[in-house]
Amino acid sequence: MTTFMLTDTTAGKISAQLTHLRHQMGAPAIGMVLTLVVVSEERHQYDALRAATEAAREHPSRIIVVIKREEEEPIRLDAELRIGENTPGEVVVLRLYGELTEHADSVVSPLLLPDTPVVAWWPGAAPDAPSKDAIGALAQRRITDAKGFDDGGVKSLVIRAKGYARGDTDLAWARLTPWRSLLAAAFDQPVGKVRKGVVEAAAGHPSAPLLAAWLSERLGVPIKVTESSGPGLTAVRLQLGEGELAVVRTDARLAALSRPGQPDRNVALARRQTSELMAEELRRLDTDEIYEAAVKRFARTYKG
């Protein structure tokens, strides 16, 4: 891998250097399928870049990391460019200083790959309405992570749910994919009418009210969220006419599925890394209409 540093530079010089490095390495940009813009604080950038790079092994990308530094300093743009065999695509790490922190889109726009989709990801703090943010306006998909917020997650999810626009999503939803798949499969055989239900999770876990909203939307019954000792989501219990359908996660890998009249069985329900969640989100670049229905119901009904 080749790493190249540019200090007090411009977007034009960065673009020219990327072209030079590609020709030097014999690595044309034609193989990249999207641009992933990661808007991160300095303290989150290492983990965020690692997750983005691992996700890019499935979706070769130009990864642009935007780090806003001290606003009171003189205007300056520093860049770190990485390209080579160990990098699936290209990585551009931008550090913005001074008034430039308020105009990150003017730096990012010239660096977007032409004629390819743009995805924006905020691994930590994110704007209240990502679609109205200057970086978010450049993207077809906008990914936030309520779990990455310092205020506990659910409050952040409420704010972004109320400011939802088509193309928005949150990794709190991606974390639910194995749960949703398992619950949907449990209804492959008739189980009777669901009367009510409960989702159990650690306090403040943002995926829990989203899962409850999805279940309520699909089943047409009230689903409550109750607190458990965690970690994360621990159980879903649906009250049927003749018993209970339950998924109870016993550790970080397995859950027990129980249905009336059938023996309990263990099923895989592993917690996933951020890179796996990002790879899943990058597989679809259109609006997730199931998430849209769930998050809108969540925004209407949440009473935290």
Name residue 22's amino acid. Answer: R
73 token code pair = 């300093």
CA distance 55 to 276: 7
Torsion of CA 156, 157, 163, 168, to 10 degrees: 120
pLDDT of the residue at 150: 58
Contact 98, 75 (CB under 8 A): yes
CA torsion sign for 178, 179, 184, 186 is: positive
Average pLDDT over residues 180-199: 90
- Whether 155 shows a pLDDT value over 90: the answer reads no
167 token code pair = 């193309």
DSSP-based three-state secondary structure for 247: strand
Span 93-143, pLDDT tens digits? 999 999 999 999 999 999 999 999 999 999 998 999 999 999 999 999 999
Q: Distances in Å between the alpha carbon of 198 and those of 222, 263, 299? A: 8, 21, 18
pLDDT of the residue at 255: 94
CA distance 207 to 271: 13
pLDDT of the residue at 191: 79
Average pLDDT, the chain: 90
Name residue 60's amino acid. Answer: P
pLDDT of the residue at 233: 93
Q: To which residue do tokens 């016993």 refer?
A: 250
CA distance 130 to 120: 9
282 token code pair = 């990058």
CA distance 32 to 88: 9
Span 3-32, pLDDT tens digits? 889 999 999 999 999 888 877 766 555 578
Q: 255-258 contacts: CB < 8 A, separation 24 or more?
A: 255/182, 257/182, 257/186
Count Cβ atoms below 10 Å from residue 78 Cβ, excluding itself: 16
Residue 280 phi/psi, 5° resolution? -65, -45
Q: Is pLDDT larger for residue 241 or for residue 214? A: 214
Residue of 111, 106, 107 whose CA lies nearest to 29: 111
- Whether 85 shows a pLDDT value over 80: the answer reads no
H/E stretch holding 141 reads strand 141-144
CA torsion sign for 106, 112, 116, 118 is: negative
Burial of 53 (0-12, 13-18, 19+ CB in 10 A): buried
116 token code pair = 């390819």
DSSP conformation letters of 84-132: ETTEEEEEEEEEEEGGGGGGHHHHHGGGSPTTS-EEEE-SS---SSGGG
Contact 90, 62 (CB under 8 A): yes
Torsion of CA 123, 128, 129, 135, to 10 degrees: -50
- Whether 170 shows a pLDDT value over 60: the answer reads yes
Average pLDDT over residues 273-287: 94
